[in-house]
Chains A and B, each alone.
Chain A
Amino acid sequence: MTTKERKGLTRRALLARSVAAGTLAVIGAGFIAAPNGAWALEVSVISEHEMATLLQMARDIYPHDRIADQYYAVAVKGYDAEDRKAMVAEGVAALDAAAQAAGHADYVSVGWEEDRVKLLQAMEDTPFFQTVRGGLVTGLYNQKEVWPIFGYEGESFSKGGYIDRGFDDINWL
């Protein structure tokens, strides 16, 4: 779970201990958190680096500039689990190795999205990539909280449908 409450408690400590992790998140002991402290994600099974990589990967697979990291974090938090540990370790290692071969420190420190995307394209057919991508389809887009960002209004029965709420209100045709 993303834990908003923890930010006051951990932010300073986190920032103090942080290491560079691209533009995305700050890595601390057992946490990754937004640089602005708006949310933090606790990891217990996989490493902070692995979670930060998954988060960056999620953003690169389905980049929506108007969707905050916290929703991507929700979508990948399930990988912090014993039965995913080996797959994540192997997948992240492969991604980092590919980044290193291209002259970077690791995947998350590749500066440009298009360069990261090239690394992802090269591993597109692997079960790791396909698992992460497939999981995001529901993990990201089925979060009710992101729907308004797309303008989607969701459930409408309780509001009486759209018969009096603009089903035919188009005015630019």
Chain B
Amino acid sequence: MTAPFDLNDDSVVVVIGTGAGGGVVANELAQKGVSVVALEAGGRYLPEDYINDEWESFGQLAWVDPRTTSGDWRVAKDFSGLPAWIVKAVGGTTTHWAGASIRFQDHEWKALTTYGAVEGASLLDWPIDAAEMAPWYDKAEAKLGVTRTGDRAGLPGNNNFKVFEKGAKALGYKEVHTGRMAINSADYDGRMACQQTGFCFQGCKWGAKWSAAYTDIPRGEATGNLEVRERAHVARILHDDAGKVTGVEYFDKDGNLQMQKARIVCVAGNSFESPRLLLNSASSMFPNGLANSSDQVGRNYMRHTTGSVYAVFEKPVRMWRGTTMAGIVQDEARHDPSRGFVGGYELETLALGIPFMAAFLNPGGWGRSFTTALDAYENMAGMWIVGEDMPQATNRVTLSETKDQWGLPVANVNFSDHPNDIAMRNHAYGRGEAIYRAVGATRTFPTPPYPSTHNLGTNRMSEKPEDGVCNKWGQSHDIANLFISDGSQFTTGAAENPTLTIVALAIRQADHIASEMAAGNL
């Protein structure tokens, strides 16, 4: 059931983007009786549509509109037009994601206080803390059905995990398990248990993995309070002379420019598109873009310190069988500057199929050093590093000279590693290789970061308006009825995969918006 709202209906909340942030905020508001129009640039794909084929699925779901890159990160050289691997579809990147769902550690909400000032980094404390977030994490874990939380059992370990677990335990690591995953280990919330098909990145055809596409979105629509308009690309957010936002302009599925009025606008286009939209909405009143009096829109882009370690063994592993991210080592997630860097990292198993392995193992690599690695694919195990990276003011999204199919300037993504990021990555490579050597690896590969899957920080939360774009509710400091609802509101990235936190913040934000609306404050 959809609820067609009129373009001139100025009582609706407009949500831009329907991923982890937007999809959840839209549904939560709809559940509370608030009228919502969600505008999504991509089309709608459901489990029956997903494809167990890496490139074909990429063609179906990925955001491939132009983007440009700069900075000294290797992605700018190897994948200059593809800084991120994220989705353009109803449900956003929750169709692609692997499902790892872990809470921030308490101290990570207070990075500046805990780590102290780090030269070249624009570290800040979040304006919220662990105690305040705990109940919202509880709700988010229940919504996503996260394993090893509540009374939900862990998933069984696949071959890739068993190799990883044995090596990690041999090194003395203690916190080694099959992860806290938004993947059902038993039937839950109307969705079945994981069948270990191994195409989690391509959309789960069983619906065992949580995705907004087939949970929050249809549930919101079922209330009659949520209308999702797909293939609707928002071009600009509009405001009145008082500086309040009044609606948005978007290109509809036929390419016609439409205007939807709004009482409140929530921006949730992921960390490239959200700042791009604010910058593209510049006006005579806000010449630097909306909500940008601080000049922080687009800055402090974070992507986690990542990298992978693959290893070859004498005998087969067949890592592609079963959940893509099948387990975790958490011992290195602590803050322990004696390792030569602040913050910490997680190690999580990861598997790619042959097509993606060829593209990502060593981009640009060729010759026998490369092909003998692939020849041993069947005997390979793999893990991914995800660690806290340092926010830097110069790592930022700006408007590019390049224009997209709508004639709108696209996002340029400038990124360079901070020395802390490099020290952490090198440490993690060493530990990852040691894990595999402990189980007899004959060859290991410290693999460079892929195009970003975690994109954070470009509209960050701050206590003081001059330090960031939004306050502790994700409400922009400058414009009361403009909210940031996605990962771009992250003040710092922590060591954990971000989506559980994005969802917890979205549930909390919807609660706040609904009560402020009821109180007549918004």
Contacts and interface: CB of A to CB of B under 8 A. Distances in A.
B367 A151 contact: no
A82 interface: no
Contacts of B198: 156, 161-162, 167
22 contacts: A61-B366, A63-B371, A64-B371, A64-B374, A64-B375, A133-B366, A150-B354, A150-B374, A157-B197, A162-B196, A162-B322, A163-B195, A166-B318, A167-B196, A167-B321, A168-B158, A168-B159, A168-B322, A170-B159, A172-B314, A173-B162, A173-B163
A61 B367 contact: yes
Contacts of A142: 55, 355
B166 interface: yes
A61 B355 CA distance: 16
Contacts of B157: 168
A137 B355 CA distance: 8
Interface string A123-142: 00000000001000110111
A147 B359 contact: no
B356 to A, nearest CB: 9
Contact of B52 (A66, A156, A163, A168): A156
Interface string B289-321: 000000000000000000000000011111011
A154 B195 CA distance: 15
B126 interface: no
Top 4 nearest A-B pairs (CB, nearest first) are A151-B378, A161-B195, A161-B197, A167-B322
B355 A167 contact: no
B415 interface: no
Interface of B: 52-53, 55, 156-159, 162-163, 166, 194-199, 205-206, 314-318, 320-322, 353-355, 357-359, 364, 366-368, 370-371, 374-375, 377-378, 439
A141 B52 contact: no
A8 interface: no
Contacts of A161: 194-198, 206
A64 B159 CA distance: 26
Contacts of A168: 156-159, 162, 322
Nearest to B364: A133
Interface residues of A, number: 35
A62 B359 CA distance: 12
A170 B355 contact: no
A80 B251 CA distance: 40
The winner among B355, B375, B439 for most chain A CB atoms within 10 A is B355
Contacts of B317: 170
Contacts of A153: 318, 320-321
Contacts of A154: 52-53, 353
Contacts of B55: 138, 142
Contacts, number: 113
A147 B353 CA distance: 9
A58 to B, nearest CB: 10
Contacts of B320: 152-153
A60 B370 CA distance: 12
A117 B359 CA distance: 21
Contacts of A61: 366-367
- From B321, B353, B358, B364, name the one whose CB has the most chain A CB atoms within 10 angstroms: B321
B321 A166 contact: yes
A151 B318 contact: yes
A160 interface: yes
Interface centre among B205, B315, B354 (most CB of A within 10 A): B354
B367 A157 contact: no
A160 B60 CA distance: 22
A137 B359 CA distance: 6
A150 B322 CA distance: 18
A156 B270 CA distance: 31
A70 B355 CA distance: 18
A136 B368 CA distance: 15
Nearest to B50: A157
Contacts of A83: none
A5 interface: no
A133 to B, nearest CB: 6
A156 B162 contact: no
A153 B52 CA distance: 11
B159 A167 contact: yes
B316 A137 contact: no
A157 B199 contact: yes
A62 B159 CA distance: 28
B371 to A, nearest CB: 5
Contacts of B375: 64, 66, 150
A173 B320 CA distance: 18
A137 B206 CA distance: 30
Contacts of B159: 166-170
Contact of A141 (B53, B162, B321, B354): B354
Nearest to A113: B368
Contacts of A162: 158, 195-198, 321-322
Contacts of A66: 375
A155 B367 CA distance: 28
Nearest to B323: A167
Given A156-B197, A156-B198, A162-B196, A151 B366 contact: no
Contacts of A173: 162-163, 166, 439
